[in-house]
Amino acid sequence: MTDLLTAADVLLMQELAQRITAVRPELVNSDASYGELAWNWGKAHAAQGASWVRRLWFAGDDLVAWGWAQLPRSVRRSDGSVKDITGAYLAFQVHPDHAGLVDEVIDWFAATADGLERTALPGAADKFGLERWAAHGYRPDPDGLGDTGSWTQLNERDLEVLEKPVLPDGFRFRTAAEAGPEAAVQAHLDAWGAIAYSRESYEGVRTTPAYRGDLHFLVEAPDGTMAASAIMWFDEANKTAEFEPVGTHPDYRRLGLGRAMLLHGMDRARAAGATHATVACLGAPGHPSARGLYHSVGFREISRDVPLLKPA
């Protein structure tokens, strides 16, 4: 059955992510992880949810595959500009014990987005899935895989031994609850520029069941500016904490704030019961900054995605 995506669906999708993480973490798609699902749903469902349709596949009572098609829409950004999205994108996940369902997912996407350019991001480790996407006429996106492409890699590390975070003089850590909604929203906009994010987006994120105010961090500069921010999503079943998003104000970069915030976040996640942390970043050679930062605090690549495209 195809319907609009709901908050209840996202909870089922997160539970599938937890089950796959427990056995084959490298097969969790980049936009199908526990934290990514919460973040993507929370920040945009109020504004864009009318263009989000989904189908769910069950084995008994267990969700074993899903597809989330994001159809053409107009997206209003924080600077007032509007971006028209004309193609269709599929977020999806298939449990490895039911790998053959990927053909049904692809067929459903074709029917749902008939006549549109279609894109998807299967994982590079999913060899069977990649063969099936190719059999349906999908090809690697040359722009997405180029030196400045959009493909992402997932990085991980354990939390047994952590460096102590060090901030420059006059800077301090805050939680979003301490800083307040306006500061939390502004910190994200300052880091990411003209994007589709607002107070409404923040409220959507904050009211997702997975959100924890004690794992939403900011770094406050001496003048009161929120110079950096990050949210962590704690998958208690796997004792894994996922950073999404992480950003620093352009005027406060190269001061060590991102590094300190990551170390502080991992320390707080460990105190909450996490033994493991993950963070995604752009993996292409032309995007070295975030990757270098994450590697500098002990993260290493576990998986990457493969942007696929099928023309209209």
Tokens of 229: 């921010």
Domain 7-146 and domain 157-304 have a common topology: yes
> DSSP letter at 115?
T
- Residues 278-301 have pLDDT tens digits of 999 999 899 899 999 999 999 999
CB-based burial, 243-270: b 16+ in 10 Å, e otherwise: bbbbbbbeebeebebbbbbbbbbbebbb
**Rounded to an integer, what distance in angstroms lies between the CA atom of residue 244 and that of residue 216?**
10
Residue range 216-238: mean pLDDT, rounded: 98
Determine whether 281 is exposed, middle or buried from the number of CB atoms within 10 Å of its CB (0-12, 13-18, 19+).
buried
Residue with tokens 């990085």: 155
Residue 145 has pLDDT above 90, yes or no: no
State how far the alpha carbon of 60 is from the alpha carbons of 57, 113, 194, 230, 272, in Å: 10, 28, 44, 38, 33
Q: What's the pLDDT score for residue 147? A: 85
> DSSP letter at 251?
G
Q: What's the pLDDT score for residue 149? A: 87
- Residues 68-93 have pLDDT tens digits of 999 999 999 999 999 999 999 999 99
- Residues 170-198 have pLDDT tens digits of 999 999 999 999 999 999 999 999 899 99
Tokens of 259: 């590094």
Query: Is 0.85 topped by the overall pTM?
Result: yes
Domain ranges of the chain: 7-146, 157-304
CATH 3.40.640.10 fits 157-304, yes or no: no
Residue range 146-163: mean pLDDT, rounded: 93
- Residues 120-139 have pLDDT tens digits of 999 999 999 999 999 999 99
CB contact at 8 A, 216 and 99: no
Q: What's the pLDDT score for residue 33? A: 97
- The CATH class for the domain spanning 7-146 reads alpha beta
Neighbours of 110 (CB within 10 A): 17
The amino acid that residue 122 corresponds to is P
**Rounded to an integer, what distance in angstroms lies between the CA atom of residue 71 and that of residue 51?**
5
Q: What's the pLDDT score for residue 143? A: 82
Residues 6+ apart with CB under 8 A from 47: 75, 76, 196, 200, 201
Q: What's the pLDDT score for residue 1? A: 54
The mean-pLDDT minimum among 138-152, 258-272, 275-289 falls in 138-152
